[in-house]
Amino acid sequence: MQNLPPAAPATGPRKPPVEGEQNASDPALTMFPHSDTTRYWISGQSNTIFQGKPGFHSQYQGSNSLDSAGEYKTSLVETLYLGLQPHRNLRYNTDLLLDVESAGGRGIGQALGLAGFTNLDVVRNPNLGTAPYLSRGVIHQTIGLTREMTESDRDQFSLATQVPVRRFEVPGRQDGRQ
């Protein structure tokens, strides 16, 4: 049995959690912690989707229809995120960002029709091979408009740990955060 700390008393209306947002008290969602002091970023992600279906009776068979025989398929997408800060300047930061991906496998029914909607990795392009390809290459530039700084989460989209409160970011953050 696990000893849990007592619940904190409610002090007012609670904001519902936002998908993808992490509270300060939550554990870090990473296998290896990332340093805030290095000039580089290395991380990765692997998505594996297994689909299967039993055999069923079908009065119609066509090239874009599910085969009535039982079937199982696995698809995968692996991404390597790389980043480098060629120079560090709090007000004028530059990040070189590169993502390399490898995709492979198939979805049931070769991911056509309903089978495609349930396997989003294959819907993008069911003909991708497993050879790695460049999925993103970006020069991210932050241009400060003020000396006042604020904390910033370091991730695969931006390597800065502090950014000017008022700033231009080219290209802007792709995840909607500021």
Backbone angles phi, psi at 30, to 5 degrees: -150, 150
- Rounded to the nearest 10°, the torsion over CA 8, 10, 13, 19 is 20
Mean pLDDT of all residues in 67-96: 88
Find the length of the chain.
Answer: 178
Q: How much is the pLDDT for 99? A: 95
Rounded to whole angstroms, how far apart are CA atoms 152 and 140? 14
Q: How much is the pLDDT for 7? A: 45
Mean pLDDT of all residues in 145-170: 91
Q: How much is the pLDDT for 172? A: 65
Q: How much is the pLDDT for 165? A: 93
Here the tokens at position 86 are: 């060629």
Mean pLDDT of all residues in 25-53: 81
- pLDDT category, 3, cuts 50, 70, 90? very low
Here the tokens at position 144 are: 């400060």
Share of the chain above pLDDT 70, in %: 70
In single-letter form, the type of residue at position 89 comes to: N
pLDDT above 80 (res 101): yes
Contact yes or no for 95/83 (Cβ under 8 A)? yes
Contact yes or no for 40/83 (Cβ under 8 A)? yes
Between 103 and 122, the more confident residue is 103
Q: How much is the pLDDT for 52? A: 87
Here the tokens at position 107 are: 């979805």
Here the tokens at position 155 are: 């991730």
Between 128 and 171, the more confident residue is 171
Mean pLDDT of all residues in 154-167: 90
Contact yes or no for 50/39 (Cβ under 8 A)? no
